[in-house]
Chain A
Amino acid sequence: MAKEKAKSKAKSKEKTEKAKNTGSKIDLELDLRGLMCPLPMVRVSQTITKVPVGGVIRAVATDPGSLADIPSWARTTGNEVLKTERDGKDIIFLVKRVK
């Protein structure tokens, strides 16, 4: 139990560190690994309303199509992709709800 707590604490610290890179607090984590186009974009679109305006979603996808899809979706819906980075197979997006 104590081990799990420590693990969770470390994970949370890691998230905070990553968020610091963009100066944003992460409000929601979204695991989109294994989903194929267009589902990563669909899930981000569905989930964005679950965070408050100004809130940030950290979405992790593996579908390469999401690299263009999610930023294009953000442009058309008035939201903002704060950061996109690749970590091995993972593609990590920080998406901010603007309106």
Chain B
Amino acid sequence: MNKAELKAVTGVLDKGMNRQLLYYLDVCTRCSICKDACHQYVSTGDVLFLPAYRAELIRRVYKKYFTRSGLFLPSLYEGREVDDRLLDELYRSTYACTGCRRCMYYCPFSIDTTWLLGVAKAMLIAAGRGAQILTELAGAAIAKGENIDLFKDIMLDLNKETEKELQSLVNDPTAAIPIEKEGADILYAALAGVHSILPPAVIFHKAGLNWTLSLFESSNYGYFLGDAEKGRIIAKRIVDEATRLKVKEVVISECGHAYRVMQYLYETWANEKLPFRVTAMVEIIARLIREGHVEIPSGKERKLVTYHDPCQVGRNAGFYDEPRYVLSQVASNLRELTPNREKNWCCGGGGGLVAQPEFDEFRIKTGERKAEQIKQTRAGLVVSPCENCRLQIAALNEKYDLDIKVTGLSDVVANQLIGRDIATSFEAGQAEEPESED
């Protein structure tokens, strides 16, 4: 590593040196309570994935370059030079973390390891070692935003097909999935794919909402990469669209990190106040049912159902009661995972891990706690309002022979509204032609 590279890496640490960082680096007593809280350490026993050690890597760099004792007697004071070995360790320990914050929940000092790893990611990016695939995914999302006119026609064509599916599902040839509708009350930011558009469209249609579908997917790989500027640009595509259409509310699909980005991070990143309310999909479904905008037909599902709290929806956003209330309206036999809510185990797929093939084997191995939890419930259907969790649990299903189906919260509600088995998948090309009104 040359001097300029070293300066760039330590410069990031210097720039990020605030009270929070110093507190976290200073206060850890190495009690190791976090070792039993982290699903990755529990599954692998590898110190690299121990939350306290993850922070320790940053602490040692801090000691080496920002304290006199570490500068002159690094071996005695645990200062560590930034070299290829350290960066390799830092990369693996940092980009493997799912950001679930279970360690923070158990830490007596509430040390936020995920926040510290945000600093580590910035250091890695400065060293030219940001995760390549996340860099490419973030770059592609930005390019899509910059060249939206190139893709708009294709998207509008696809939307016409999805709209026909909706009309068939709700048996109403006037049902619509509006795009770029100025003056709509709600802008819904979905994920790529019909599966995250159709269930909310069914619910919004049944509730008679004045809504419009975003041209942009809600997921944000700039956030996973740890590049706040890229994260801001990606989220800004939706912010600009919502502002242009003058909507009052932006509803984020069942995607844990996307809600977190828009609700809690964007205003800090962009230094601007959002001119609309941000709502999670789990929140709006609960609201629509509570306020009587959608009426759930009687005849609840009796099959055994379990609910997985996504870390970004539960621990990191506080939605525990809303999804359970919604599920109680459609299913009569909910068996909780043990533990659950704020103590729930991470599925192992968050933090962008499902998109990083280099961690494929690792995430399946470290998902074993989740697999055990699910197995213990004996439920045949797992509901979870996060795409990353669903992809991971589906992978765990194959690996650990769980014999389950995995679905979203809006899927079970939409199915109940249209009189189908709540476990039915929403895929393109399934629906029949709608009955004509005349």
Q: Which residues of A contact B (CB under 8 A)?
A: 36-39, 41-42, 45-46, 62-69, 71-73, 75-77, 89
CB distance from A26 to the nearest CB of B (A): 23
| B147, B191, B357: the one within 8 Å of A37 (CB) | B191
Known A-B contacts A76-B142, A76-B143; the reply to A71 vs B150 at CB < 8 A is yes
Known A-B contacts A42-B133, A76-B143; the reply to A65 vs B193 at CB < 8 A is yes
CB distance from A31 to the nearest CB of B (A): 16
For B, the interface residue count at a CB cutoff of 8 angstroms equals: 30
Using a Cβ cutoff of 8 Å, how many contacts connect chains A and B?
79
| B139, B147, B154, B387: the one within 8 Å of A73 (CB) | B139
Q: Which residues of B contact A (CB under 8 A)?
A: 133, 136-137, 139-144, 147, 150-151, 154-155, 158, 191-195, 217, 219, 221, 354-355, 357, 387, 391, 428-429
B133 touches A77 (CB 8 A): no
B140 touches A72 (CB 8 A): yes
Q: Is chain B's binding surface mostly helix, strand, loop or mixed?
A: helix
Q: Which has the most chain B C-beta neighbours within 10 Å: A62, A64, A69?
A: A64
Known A-B contacts A38-B355, A72-B144, A75-B143; the reply to A63 vs B137 at CB < 8 A is no
Q: Is chain A's binding surface mostly helix, strand, loop or mixed?
A: helix
Cα distance, A53 to B193, chains bound together (Å): 31
Cα distance, A42 to B133, chains bound together (Å): 7
Residues of A contacting B221 with CB < 8 Å? 38
B137 touches A38 (CB 8 A): yes
Residues of A contacting B355 with CB < 8 Å? 38-39, 42
A69 touches B144 (CB 8 A): yes
Residues of A contacting B194 with CB < 8 Å? 64
B136 touches A77 (CB 8 A): yes
Known A-B contacts A64-B194, A67-B154, A89-B429; the reply to A45 vs B143 at CB < 8 A is no
